[in-house]
Structure 1
Amino acid sequence: MDSSLRQLTDRILAAAADGTPLRIRGGGSKDFYGQTLQGDVLDLRPHTGITSYEPTELVVTVRAGTPLVHLEATLAERGQCLAFEPPRFAGADASTCGGMVAAGLSGPARASVGSVRDFVLGVSLINGRGEALTFGGQVMKNVAGYDVSRLMVGALGTLGVLTEISLKVLPVAPAEATLMCAGLNQQQALDLLNRWGGQPLPLSASCWVRDDTATPVRDFLFVRLRGAIAAVQSAGPRLIADMHALGGEVRVMDNTEAGADWTACRDQTLPFFTRPAPEMGLWRLSLPQTAPALPLPYAQLVEWHGGQRWLWAPESAAPALRQAAAEVGGSATLFIASCGDNSKVTPRFDALKPPLDGIHQRLKAEFDPAGIFNRARLYPDF
């Protein structure tokens, strides 16, 4: 056991012995996410480095404290990438690979390639008893029974301290094109995206947003195509024709310009993500892609072909937002609290139903019997 891993184990054993809560932290880029921040900081940044990379096998294994930007640079040298485009907040250097998996957040390509969970092959972790455990492996078909490695994705560190992660990587697509269409309202955009979703198109990402700063106010739909050169070249004219048929004004964006915009969308640095007023919180609606435009009195940004919708609203709107999302089979998350930070009053996540809540509680008791890891980060009593 190397020194950084030994130090982590010693801290966990000491905390479990006296019941001291530990706040698992990498670069702190996602400190805003989740219910509360409690306990002494357990810093994962010293536990860093890529321990194994097999480009021909499309597999990389990395320690949890490794900066995400370092991993992405290493993959780029071999023409490969993390296809799910993990978001990086608070600057590129702050995000770590462990935080990426613990938060379980994916970027614009999630609707076409899958989520973080789909790319996790295996993990190593330290549980609340100070035991070093390994689940999964370095190939896709390596799980018999319960897939514990993917259980850790999105758990926000409440079940254990991730120390090492094995990930599937993919080659960078040979061709890419982004179309920008002005003049389609949200429902028109959703209808188009749903129609295209049933066709063999290399549709990689989409984003619909209303520009309130323009005169007159205009709606914009951005669509990114990725894949084989022939597939991208043949799909472009078909999509342009469909948008023109609805009265949209379409242009093909320069890839450098479009790339910067997609990065800003992923990292939430677009103008839309600037807080409009101190009392507003950023809400994330996770909905079926086929859900219609919701009649909400708040400006929205729509991603994932309709599956992810962002809006700024006061925390007092929580009941209405959660009801609207539930009525179409989705959920609402308070992603970033207002400046008043009433998150202790307004739950960040939808409450779990009793059967699922019981499963979560039993998992927590098994992995973290003393309840020391990221206490109340996921749910107030978890």
Structure 2
Amino acid sequence: MASGITHDTMPSDGSRERKCIGTPVEAVPKAEKTQGFRRNQIRLLTALIFLFSGLVAVAGEAFAGSKGCENIVADLNGKDVGFLTKAYPNSDFHATDQLHIDLIRNPSFWESAYFNALAGSGTPYIEASYDGGVVTGNESASFSGQDLVLGGIYVEAINYSQTTSPWRMDVVCVTKSNPLDAVLSGLTLSSGNLEPAFNTATTTYRATVANSVSTLGVTPSTPGSTATLKINGASAVSGASSAVPLNVGDNTLTVTVMTEDRTIKRTYLVVVTRAAPPTIMSVAPYIGSTAGGQSVTITGTNFIGVSAVAFGGVPATTFTVDSATRITATAPARAAGPADVTVTTVGNSSVTRANGYTYVAAPVVTAVKPLNTPARTYAIGATLMFDVEFDQHIASNGGRT
């Protein structure tokens, strides 16, 4: 036995050619034959009903709202695709309607299933099959009101699995949106500043935050209330802050705004750089008087958003962040002994150089002895050498790394 399978081909002149190719048919299990026969019967019956309803519909019938939109959303949105055949006549729709259907795939489905959405003329909007984990066809489509008022829509879903569903349906049917709804009217961050400053027409930005900022609040705003907002794929609300986790380094934030009818989408990108933790590489000089007042240079990295500098827990008298790698601080008064040097950034993230600075009391002279200087009278202006003894060791006052 052989069956003829008809294929459409498109020659170079643009005309459509049908070819019938004979292929051998292997024995089909009875269960599969029954499924196929039942499926074809349902398709034929529903198509006839759909055609009849289109013929008898009263053209131009008005509704307070689009009954077609209301019905198809109520029947399909959020539902699992199982077994369904239903016709929605053209008289239920308005020319301003915009219908959008997405099939959200279940990756664990491993049976056979079909979904089709056709116009009354037979033109396919969606034709998708799911067999053994492989999907063919399209799983997303938009339908204009002009098409719907001409032909309505016929929906067919068949699922041969008794336990799982191949898709979940996401259906939106609304009045055609204003394209200008797909823009942001504002975008703010809880830390850092957008560069350049926000402008509705500008879609790419950068911002820098301190290392202590591990979570960033992002607040997008839209001019109207019907647009759909998402930040990195998660739903967001206009005028409300959404928390976005940040890694050290560059983080790309994708903010999308889409019209209610889902026909127009605009994407805004914000690259947020979270600084690495600060480091202290050297403190110079590293010795100073217990009286304080010594100017100390601290060198390191990532001195961004520095809020405090301390010596042994005592805040520096003053400090200036000269650059991301250098701080000039005035050491405070403190008791003698070693002291940790700590740099704190905004958000209380800090780095400490243990025993980075040593306090010493002012030295006291305990003895002055002539050095190779015989006892005699010397002329005014003569150079004399003496040994001066102090009560403590006097170290050189240089930088230490």
Q: Sort the TM-score into its range (normalised by shorter chain).
A: under 0.3
State TM-score, norm by structure 2.
0.24
Q: Point out which structure has higher relative CO (alpha carbons under 8 A, 6+ apart).
A: 1
| Bigger helix share | 1
State TM-score, norm by structure 1.
0.25
Instruction: Find the structure with the greater CA-based Rg.
Output: 2
| Bigger strand share | 2
